[in-house]
Amino acid sequence: MKYPDMFRVEPGTKVKLSQMEAGDTGDNRDEAAAQDELGRLTKRLAELQYLLYAESKRSFLIVLQAMDAGGKDGTVRHVIGSMNPQNATVQPFKVPSVEEMAHDYLWRVHKVTPATGQVVVFNRSHYEDVLVVRVHDLVPKEIWSERYDEINAFEKLLSDNGTHIIKFFLHIDKKEQLARFKQRLEDPTKQWKISESDYKEREFWDDYQKAYEAAISKCSTEDAPWYVIPANHKWFRNLVVSRILVKTLESMDMQFPQPTVSIEEIRRQYHVAVEESR
């Protein structure tokens, strides 16, 4: 299969993350060339977002998941930062509040899905409810194991109602995570990002990888595919995510709406008005 489609998880595939190369850079050995292409792609992304907004028939949901220090924030900044913030928002998902905990786990999610014409990026998502929740037994297995089907049904509902969904797992390896933690410890502008819990969660690396494999394998569907992005190299991650976003938005065949007024008539009248005011 051809790049970047090769990073798409076909429905029914059983994903094994250890067999997927987090340090892959495909045929792209040259970071400088990648930056040029990235510049063109982000410009194109902004145009496509404008078209989505103009058409205002469909919406676009991007789900970003990764291990700690996996690059969610960087992806938001580099790739999605080019979009007009009026119609593109980023929605983080933290530990649920008391009110959120008093509802079903999709309650807080459904409320913040994109309206027509809008792009919403989930920085973490409803998948936390089969990731951190599963790894730390926050609910019994009988409950979380039902959630894959529930999530598929929820995403189908969104998709049937005009929301395009695309899900990215930013795949780094364990060594790269440690290197990024170390960088954070050493860089005074990044120290605020590091917490003890990052190191504690790292001890559960294998459990998280297993939980990700289950979520990606069970919930990559035609309507809402998962992509596993090699993310050790930030520039390659940005390039691949941008290419996939542009390709997906282009495949939606969006059209500018027809004007609701007669342009000819307005031109004629305006021209007349200009002539008259002279």
* Contacts to ligand ADP by CB under 6 A: 92-96, 123-124, 128-129, 132-133, 138
Cα 66 to Cα 81: distance, rounded to the nearest angstrom: 19
Cα-based angle 21, 26, 31 (whole degrees, multiple of 5): 110
Task: Identify which of residues 197 and 260 has a Cβ nearer to ligand ADP in the complex.
Answer: 197
CB of 94 to ligand ADP, least distance (A): 4
Identify the burial level of 197 via C-beta atoms within 10 angstroms of its C-beta, where 0-12 means exposed, 13-18 middle and 19 or more buried. exposed
Cα 126 to Cα 110: distance, rounded to the nearest angstrom: 9
* Amino acid letter for position 135: V
CB of 43 to ligand ADP, least distance (A): 28
Kind plus residue range of the DSSP H or E element containing 229: strand 226-230
3-class secondary structure for 116-165?
CCCEEEEECCHHHHHCHHHHCCCCCHHHHCCHHHHHHHHHHHHHHCCEEE
Tokens of 109: 């999610």
Residue nearest to ligand ADP (CB): 128
Task: Identify which of residues 20 and 132 has a Cβ nearer to ligand ADP in the complex.
Answer: 132
Task: Identify which of residues 133 and 245 has a Cβ nearer to ligand ADP in the complex.
Answer: 133
Identify the burial level of 88 via C-beta atoms within 10 angstroms of its C-beta, where 0-12 means exposed, 13-18 middle and 19 or more buried. buried
CB of 77 to ligand ADP, least distance (A): 12
CB of 192 to ligand ADP, least distance (A): 11
Task: Identify which of residues 101 and 115 has a Cβ nearer to ligand ADP in the complex.
Answer: 101
Task: Identify which of residues 42 and 123 has a Cβ nearer to ligand ADP in the complex.
Answer: 123
CB of 150 to ligand ADP, least distance (A): 14
Task: Identify which of residues 132 and 157 has a Cβ nearer to ligand ADP in the complex.
Answer: 132
Bridge partners (DSSP) listed for residue 90: 121
CB of 98 to ligand ADP, least distance (A): 13
